[in-house]
Amino acid sequence: MNAFTKMNTALQIDEAQKIFKVSRQAFTDPTILEAERSNIFDKCWLYLGHSSELDKPGDFVTRSVGGRNILFARDGQGELKAMLNTCPHRGAQVCREKHGRAKSFQCFYHGWVFGLDGTLRSQPGEESYAEDFKSRSTSNMQQVPRFESYRGLNFICFDAKVESLTDYLGPVLEYLDVICDQAEEGMTIVGGTQEYSMRANWKLLTENSIDGYHALTTHATYLDYLKATNGSLAPVAFAGTAYDLGRGHAVLEYKAPWGRPVAQWIPSWGEDGKRELDRLYARLLERFGKERADRIATYNRNLFIFPNLVINDIMAVTVRTYYPTAPDHMTISAWALAPKEETDWARKYRLFNFLEFLGPGGFATPDDVEALEQCQRGFRNAGEAQWNDISKGMGKESPSYDDEAQMRAFWSNWNERVFQVPA
Ligand code: FES
Ligand code: FE
């Protein structure tokens, strides 16, 4: 039995002394990963993909979600289906492509053919099967136990008894609305999937994705670059708030010195850019009034949806999800999200921001990968140096975007689920 199961918690919390510590064993122990798989990834709503990825009937993608292979397809009626990508015959993965457009799916092993919704259409040697074989539900590909959507974001859950997606998301919905409302015709995924991996525990990326504290040091090069290309970081300085949104969800909402294609101008975008952003802002004003227009245009959001979905609405919008393959290794998938109707100018600068800062080759991600892998290396000393400190901003009524309240929200929920005890 390891120290955790004896302690029944990975946290050391003392509100009066403003102590919040997380045991580093949470990042290294294989038994913790097993508990995470059964108590978190088998129980929570997990992000599957965006509706815009499946534009037309027959479009499909395959992806690994919560350790399962999923076939996500738009059927002939235009309805989205999330199926377990395994043949009801003898188990082979039915669809072996990453994405594409199909009329049907044929399992390559014995040739069973399934419709776009997973129903068995034909199989070689049909005469050797029971007469009603094709009408039995067990002959079809299995749908995932739960599949629900909100504003083009599709989620699945392997626990049939889970609460509805909208109940699970709760106050997160309002932030998703703010992000999606920047588009009039809906948001769309631009380009394909970015995939990369890190030799670090998956929870390090949760922390990092909502960590307003590290920007000035880890991303000093990017901030120097902004200064060099725009003359200075003024007039917009970093400032904002962290919110605990319940159930382990959290968000940072803040101002920052970079340009936003909707709609914060920076000098390096020139007069053309100014005209375009003035036009976008005027339209937001018309649609939402000043307060909400300002929030959409000039505030950044790092939104974390428990357990492993990040939507960063910063200098571009990135959707990111990640899974552990081992206690010290994770794989990451990321997508760029943008208003469908945006002009070529805005799309160009949005994607440039994605390349420049957010993508795996940008200013930010390699720095973050280095920081997270360094932490994981540091955890080799966890036997002696056992605790991480997550106490920044404890006791504040309104924690700042660069405090750690949002991480405490994650860890409390994580602890409760992993050890099945109230935090
Ligand atoms: Fe798919 Fe046999 S395993 S047809
Ligand atoms: Fe970072």
List pLDDT tens digits, range 205-262: 999 999 999 988 999 888 888 788 777 655 677 889 999 999 999 999 999 888 888 8
Residue 5 pLDDT more than 50?
A: no
Model pLDDT, residue 7: 57
Residue 14 pLDDT more than 90?
A: yes
pLDDT average, residue stretch 27-39: 96
Residue 114 Cβ contacting ligand 1 at under 6 Å: no
- Cα of 367 vs its chain's centroid, Å: 19
Strand partners for 400: 241
At 364, the amino acid letter reads A
DSSP letters spanning 213-271: TSHHHHTHHHHHHHHHHHS-STT---EEEEEE-STT-EEEEEE-SS-BTTTB--GGGHH
Residue 112 Cβ contacting ligand 1 at under 6 Å: yes
Counting ligands in written order, the one closest to the CA of 113 is 1
CA-nearest residue for atom 2, ligand 1, is 110
Closest ligand 1 atom to the C-alpha of 107?
1
Closest CA to 371 of 253, 224, 209, 225: 209
Rounded distance from Cα 53 to ligand 1 centre (Å): 28
Model pLDDT, residue 85: 98
Instruction: List the shell of residues around ion ligand 2, using CB closer than 5 Å.
Output: 364, 368
Residue 109 Cβ contacting ligand 1 at under 6 Å: yes
What are the tens digits of pLDDT across the range 256-292?
Answer: 888 888 888 888 888 888 999 999 999 999 999 999 9
Counting ligands in written order, the one closest to the CA of 215 is 2
Residue 90 Cβ contacting ligand 1 at under 6 Å: yes
What are the tens digits of pLDDT across the range 55-111?
Answer: 999 999 999 999 999 999 999 999 999 999 999 999 999 999 999 999 999 999 999
- Alpha carbons 397 and 90: distance in angstroms, whole number: 57
Closest CA to 155 of 15, 45, 32, 285: 45
Rounded distance from Cα 357 to ligand 2 centre (Å): 9
Q: Who's near 400: CB < 8 A, 6+ residues apart?
A: 212, 239, 240, 241, 242, 393
Residue 359 pLDDT more than 80?
A: no
Model pLDDT, residue 227: 81
Residue 110 Cβ contacting ligand 1 at under 6 Å: yes
All domains of the chain in start order, with CATH? 49-161 (2.102.10.10), 171-419 (3.90.380.10)
Closest ligand 1 atom to the C-alpha of 91?
3
Q: How confident is the model at residue 112 (pLDDT cuts 50, 70, 90)?
A: very high
Model pLDDT, residue 1: 39
pLDDT average, residue stretch 179-200: 94
CA-nearest residue for atom 4, ligand 1, is 110
Question: Where would I find the beta strands (DSSP E) of 25-184?
Answer: 46-50, 59-65, 68-74, 80-84, 99-101, 105-106, 113-114, 120-122, 146-150, 153-157
Residue 29 pLDDT more than 90?
A: yes
Model pLDDT, residue 337: 95
pLDDT average, residue stretch 106-129: 97
Residue 421 pLDDT more than 90?
A: no
Q: How confident is the model at residue 2 (pLDDT cuts 50, 70, 90)?
A: very low
Comparing 383 with 321, the larger pLDDT belongs to 321
pLDDT average, residue stretch 146-157: 98
Closest ligand 1 atom to the C-alpha of 94?
1
% of the chain beyond a pLDDT of 70:
97
Residue in 94, 95, 109 to alter for ligand 1 test, most ligand atoms within 8 A of Cβ: 109
Rounded distance from Cα 123 to ligand 1 centre (Å): 9
- Per the prediction, the chain carries an average pLDDT of 93
Counting ligands in written order, the one closest to the CA of 221 is 2
Rounded distance from Cα 365 to ligand 2 centre (Å): 7
Q: How confident is the model at residue 192 (pLDDT cuts 50, 70, 90)?
A: confident
Residue 391 pLDDT more than 50?
A: yes
Closest CA to 58 of 114, 121, 104, 122: 104
Residue 89 Cβ contacting ligand 1 at under 6 Å: yes
pLDDT average, residue stretch 115-132: 97
- Alpha carbons 148 and 365: distance in angstroms, whole number: 31
pLDDT average, residue stretch 304-313: 97
